[in-house]
Structure 1
Amino acid sequence: MVGYRRNRIAGATYFFTVTLRDRSSDLLVRKIDALRAAWQAAATRVPHTVIAAVVLPDHLHAVLRMDDATANYPRLWQDIKKGFTRRTSQPGKPSAWQSRYWERTVRDESELQAVVDYVHINPLKHGLVTTVADWPHSTFHRYVQRGHLPPDWASDALPMSGTHGEPL
């Protein structure tokens, strides 16, 4: 088996994509309260700050700053996945999650802005909504509330700035 190395730097910021096995599932949004509860429980064990996140039907994206000395995001995702599985699956059934996840260390402020924009625009990119503000499971609303983004960001009424494609 190939040894996979993860870049773990205390205090660093990471971009994650975590996916369900069944890409046609809507489990994450259908059981959003279970996901929130699992994430909150995991956060008590692995300190981190959510910079941006979006939960889609079959996957989620998150930009997290790891606040623990070991940057133990593998444990964080393990705890979130296990906690969600316990809350949503019947005993003996396999986990709904893919066994791995994708992660990238965010190197600088311009990359951070690109991945945060990517997270927020993702529901629009997947055709789930016609405006970013219409998707309820996103930190976009927190950014609007704090005055960092206008409510009509990424809509036809307001041209987007920056890049909104796949992260670098």
Structure 2
Amino acid sequence: MARFRRVFTPGATWFFTVVAARRRPLLTDTRVISAFGTAMREVRLTLPFSMPAWVLLPDHLHVIWTLPEGDTDYPRRWSIIKRRTSQLAGLPPMARTCAMVARRESGLWQRRYWEHLIRDTDDLHRHIDYIHFNAVKHGHVDAAASWPYSSFDRHVRTGTYPPDWRATRDMDTFDAGEP
């Protein structure tokens, strides 16, 4: 069995990449969006965290979380969010391997996720830019403002970005953990 080494820093800020199983483009299905939003709200009621930035794409998502002081349990949050989203989405049953059935996996999500501990303010800003550029990077839209499934609008309202923000050329080569 694989043993993963994860860093657990209390109250830290994390960048995550979570992927749909087999990269199926299901995450922007309205049922999944609604279920995912409900699951996030439910988890944040009992296991709070702040979410400085996020983007939901058809086959994966990126998000930044800051956990409360003294808290390191992001794996539990992801486990509940993924399970609850799968329960609420109401999608038809998906083909699953024997291993997926044994692990009680729904077939909506890849088993694991990628995390990165945000080191400093510069690292945080680079990852927020990466998140908001991601729909452009993958060719879904020509400008971040055109993608409806991200925190970009919130950042425009708070003055972080101008409405016509375009990422710099080096965003094309910045790899923030894209699987």
TM-score (norm 2): 0.84
Contact 2:34 2:89 (C-alpha < 8 Å) held by counterparts: no
Q: Secondary structure at the match of 2:22?
A: coil
Q: What's the offset of the Cα at 1:74?
A: 0.2
Give, in angstroms, the shift of residue 92 of structure 1: 6.9
Counterpart residue number, 2:176: 167
Question: Distance between the aligned counterparts of 2:11 and 2:170, measured in 1?
Answer: 25
- Alpha-carbon distance in structure 2 between the residues aligned to 1:131 and 1:91: 33
Mapped partners of 1:89, 1:22: distance in 2? 19
- Residue 28 of structure 1 is matched in structure 2 by 27
- Cα shift at 1:110: 1.0
Q: Which runs of 5+ in 1 are unaligned?
A: 155-159
Count of paired positions: 162
| Equivalent of residue 140 in structure 1, options 121, 142, 152 | 152
SS across alignment from 1:28: coil
Task: Supply the distance in 2 between the matched residues of 1:91 and 1:53 (Cα, whole angstroms).
Answer: 27
Aligned mates of 2:91, 2:168 — CA distance in 1: 45
Cα deviation code 1:63-91 (max 9, x no counterpart): 11111523210011111101100012469
Q: Deviations over 1:34-84 (max 9, x none)?
A: 110011111122211001000001110001111152321001111110110
Q: What TM-score results when the alignment is normalised by the length of structure 1? A: 0.89
- The one-letter code sitting in structure 1 at the alignment partner of 2:115 is E
Partner amino acid for 1:28?
L
How do residues 98-109 of structure 1 correspond to structure 2 at under 5 angstroms? 98-109=110-121
Q: Distance in 2 between matches of 1:148 and 1:5?
A: 34
Q: Where do 1:39-118 residues align within 5 Å?
A: 39-67=40-68, 69-89=70-90, 94-118=106-130
Q: Between the two proteins, what is the percent identity of the paired residues?
A: 38
Root-mean-square deviation (CA), in Å? 1.9
Q: 1:128 to 1:71 in 2, by over 3 A?
A: same
1:17 maps to which residue? 17
Distance 1:78 1:68 in 2: 21
1:18-47 C-alpha deviation (Å, 9 max, x unpaired): 00113132x211121111001111112221
CA contact (8 A) 2:82 2:109 kept: yes
Q: CA deviation at 1:3?
A: 1.8
| 1:52 alignment partner, SS class | strand
CA distance in 2, matches of 1:56, 1:139: 12
Structure 2: which 5+ runs fail to align? Answer: 95-105
1:102-141 alpha-carbon deviations (Å, 9 max, x no partner): 0010111111111110000000000000111000111111
